[in-house]
Structure 1
């Protein structure tokens, strides 16, 4: 789903598993897509093995997840049955399911229904299928998704018939490769991909040229590569000239109640899932500027998605076994937007100042900018230079002394078990990103402030300790990482003069962590204490006798 997100779809489909845990998985995937990934989803819902209570539970879950699209289907018979049968208390036809959804939820859901330009397995009567389609539309369907097909001319003929009977809602053609053309080269993976891409792209161009079709619906079968190849051939992929448009500079959650969320602390810039999970119980955003970081409103650190994922063995294989500060610094990914401050971040890490988060200064670029742009059209966006690092105490002291000579710079810093240190003039939020757009107030979607930084501090150091605990307690890697987490400072620095992009990096010039290359020795294992010789038992009356 995350890979598909980068292709910029209007929505993704999540197919329905009738009954049992498979149906529950469908609901869970809708929740993940909507709330954590910010992807509009279309949940398939069938009548197969679904009584009224199950249908209502599925719809309720989709509604709470913020889902606004349902594809209502009768469904196929279960695998253990040859003939489709209505479930007790359930729905006999897709049109009945459409009517129930519309009557229960009003206009909350857009409701899709299936179209069959080449007939369906149990019915090849086109006139009867069109009549059924019209009934589904009359019950409240708002778009049509067709079965996969291979004949563009026949499909367009069928679209003409759909329009003739008074159906005007959008039709989304189901796109799949042309298997007959692929058959001769089926054992050549590269040839299959190239022929499939060309044939599907040509099919899509023919459909779009008809002026009746404005959307394409790809049956991806969970494979992003084939679809992206077709989109590339059509020149539909996001690019510098056609950027993936974002309403805000961070991935917006589409969960119920979160669609109007417009402010987040910058600290979770690269941990979107974690932030959503930690604030999933909030009833409004930003909920009074986050309140006390010790509040349950921030969620538990043990919540799935917040702690370090993977087993200890997997993480050791992924990141190796660092034995020096240099080893750790080489592992930390760069977080720059584009290449603007890449060299500066590399230089900091090479000197042992480990970068956690960053953003470059931006002085009024168009909201359509391919890297920094966000928000409505014809606007301008701004950013203050921001940097977050892990540094040892000696370097931290030097940084603070240098900051004192820069009135435009503010900071927050803390150790794992220490108290917050800052020169910020107040506890209030400091906007580090903002946008100016026609007909709107200034939007300030990314901030730095003390309360949320303390909540982030707990998470950041917890992740570090999780990493340390992937190693044996007597290993140098464990000693190195655990020592850094216990003693180093987490510090964020903001240059409030957004017209000066290099000030923070100039501030840190020449600072270097001592002992960068020095391997951390394994902890010395204490030898076991020799057994104590038992003391002779002294009768109590002797303790009370006077000395002789």
Structure 2
């Protein structure tokens, strides 16, 4: 959706709105962690996020990759920065095409800073000299497809001769087709409010979003304001001087100051705010909490999972639950489904259902970090203890999860999951039963207002063959339980009489059909099992092959089963775990010892 349309909607509803800016990290691990942070911060309800384009286009490939992944995989409405610096038309064309292909409809068009080591800004061959040229070119090539933003400078651009010239250029950028303005950082709210009034008097009528940069530390604040020649009022300098050596005190003051600034700006009739997050989370969250800014529930969670904003996936409203914790892997695997545009789960039967890719079989963390976190398990009990620690939040990941923390709804069953793992059920996915919770519930809610949501209890875990046999015997007479179990070789066991989808999450809303966004079904499960077992192989590779940890992990991979269980009576909150608790489990370490000898 276009940012300009989102702003219009927010203004018509008379509510405050906000957006977040991020920059491309320098490391692969940083990129993955940024995705997690962006997705988590999206629960704060921004209208959009934007990704910067480094001076000289040095991070251009990474910017387009971040935008595409945020838009297509994580379903985050994204705005891509695009600069003129070192960007001939051919590169501009490539970047715009990539943005459109991933469903992105928003560009922040900038001239950009001089390349590193160059004092004066000079356009490159076959490039553009001004942001206004870039705006005009985008409109010429793409018409109204993109919502285009431009930068505004309350204290004038450093290259402008005076304020009047700066207003003239801003007006020209808008006349060339810009839809909204995002300002440079500032700390004098009176100066900003007066500048907005001057803009309006000169016929600049598009929305103007004030750029708010919370003070995170004294050194960074000093460097940034000096670089941008930003005016800092005396009361801010006086407040910072006695606490400048206390990082926490500076950060706390930065939150307090930003809240005060936003309140003054809002009192002047401006409802939109753009936060320069510096890829940090806490300060922005505290500012929004301090302002009592709460986004409409639909902005935060339209479905239990974030829908892709890629145009070719825009109708997707059903996903198999198996990839719940490996979102990017699922999107990549299904990218080429030949009937995909209708968005239905059933396309998993397509011959285009993807094979495993490089991401799908990779660990989330580097080997060194993995060794520090997971140690050197000597038997299955040690492995089970690691799974239990993840459930309790004592380690930040296991190979089967992209998330550094459990979903909020899992808190209710956190201890139960930890106990199951200690008994040898190595859990990798779960959800509790939910019986008609309102759609605006903070933990389980999703979808439009005034609806109700439901869930069947679901659990997925690895289990030894001996314990699987005992479990299957126990649930033979449990008519409400269905399961699929498979080992690495593809030997499938099930009590399901139906190969079709079993809805495990659904919602009932005013004036709509029943929405079934999450299902269990055999075709997708058999595709997922390849990836799930391959992750054991990836884990074992961080150890020397002949060592006990490698042997233990490979033995589990080769002999154990992956099972998913659904308790279909969603009114029985404890039914699934009551059955599992009643099963006597064997000593897995003893069972596997002979194979390791």
SS in 1 for 2:449: coil
Max Rg structure: 1
Distance 1:400 1:381 in 2: 30
Q: Is 1:94 the counterpart of 2:150 in the alignment? A: no
Q: Is 1:118 the counterpart of 2:190 in the alignment? A: no
Aligned to 2:376: 321
Higher helix share: 2
Spell out the pairing of 1:190-205 with structure 2 (5 A cutoff): 190-205=248-263
Distance 1:473 1:4 in 2: 37
Q: Quote the offset at 1:446 in angstroms.
A: 0.3
Distance 1:290 1:320 in 2: 41
CA contact under 8 A between 1:476 and 1:520: conserved in structure 2?
no
Q: Quote the offset at 1:53 in angstroms.
A: 1.4
Q: Is 1:297 the counterpart of 2:353 in the alignment? A: yes
Residue 479 of structure 1, aligned match among 551, 562, 574: 551
Aligned to 1:152: 189
Aligned to 2:327: 272
Q: Is 1:284 the counterpart of 2:356 in the alignment? A: no
SS in 1 for 2:182: strand
The alignment's TM-score, normalised by the length of structure 2, stands at 0.81
Residue 439 of structure 1, aligned match among 511, 534, 546: 511
CA contact under 8 A between 1:6 and 1:244: conserved in structure 2?
no
Residue 226 of structure 1, aligned match among 283, 300, 306: 283
SS in 1 for 2:54: coil
CA contact under 8 A between 1:382 and 1:435: conserved in structure 2?
yes
Spell out the pairing of 1:45-64 with structure 2 (5 A cutoff): 45-64=82-101
Q: 1:185 to 1:214 in 2, by over 3 A?
A: same
CA contact under 8 A between 2:57 and 2:87: conserved in structure 1?
no
Residue 43 of structure 1, aligned match among 56, 75, 80: 80
Residues 422-465 of structure 1, C-alpha deviations (whole Å, 9 max, x = no match): 22222111111111111211111000000000011111111112
CA contact under 8 A between 1:47 and 1:86: conserved in structure 2?
yes
Q: Quote the offset at 1:35 in angstroms.
A: 2.2
Q: Is 1:352 the counterpart of 2:407 in the alignment? A: no
Aligned to 2:30: none
Distance 1:399 1:420 in 2: 15
Q: Is 1:66 the counterpart of 2:103 in the alignment? A: yes
Q: Which runs of 5+ in 2 are unaligned?
A: 1-33, 216-231, 392-405
Spell out the pairing of 1:251-262 with structure 2 (5 A cutoff): 251-262=306-317
Q: 1:439 to 1:254 in 2, by over 3 A?
A: same
Q: Is 1:129 the counterpart of 2:166 in the alignment? A: yes
SS in 1 for 2:300: coil
Q: Which runs of 5+ in 1 are unaligned?
A: 526-548
SS in 1 for 2:581: coil
Distance 2:506 2:257 in 1: 45
Q: Quote the offset at 1:232 in angstroms.
A: 3.6
CA contact under 8 A between 1:476 and 1:523: conserved in structure 2?
no
CA contact under 8 A between 2:543 and 2:550: conserved in structure 1?
yes
SS in 2 for 1:373: coil
Distance 1:68 1:244 in 2: 17
Q: Is 1:514 the counterpart of 2:583 in the alignment? A: no
Residue 467 of structure 2, aligned match among 353, 373, 395: 395
CA contact under 8 A between 2:56 and 2:115: conserved in structure 1?
no
Aligned to 1:5: 39
Q: Which shifted more, 515-524 or 41-50?
A: 515-524
CA contact under 8 A between 1:477 and 1:520: conserved in structure 2?
no
SS in 2 for 1:172: strand
SS in 2 for 1:298: coil
Q: Quote the offset at 1:520 in angstroms.
A: 6.2
Distance 2:195 2:111 in 1: 21
Residues 286-330 of structure 1, C-alpha deviations (whole Å, 9 max, x = no match): 46614448x5532324x2254224444432221011123221112
Q: Quote the offset at 1:43 in angstroms.
A: 1.2
RMSD: 2.5
CA contact under 8 A between 2:57 and 2:85: conserved in structure 1?
no
Q: Quote the offset at 1:517 in angstroms.
A: 5.9
The alignment's TM-score, normalised by the length of structure 1, stands at 0.88
Aligned to 2:145: 108
Q: After the TM superposition, which parts of structure 1 deviate over 6 Å for at least 4 consecutive aligned residues? A: 241-244, 522-525
Q: 1:422 to 1:338 in 2, by over 3 A?
A: closer
Distance 1:518 1:310 in 2: 30
Distance 1:124 1:20 in 2: 26
Distance 2:412 2:354 in 1: 33
Paired residues, what number? Answer: 520
Distance 2:325 2:345 in 1: 23
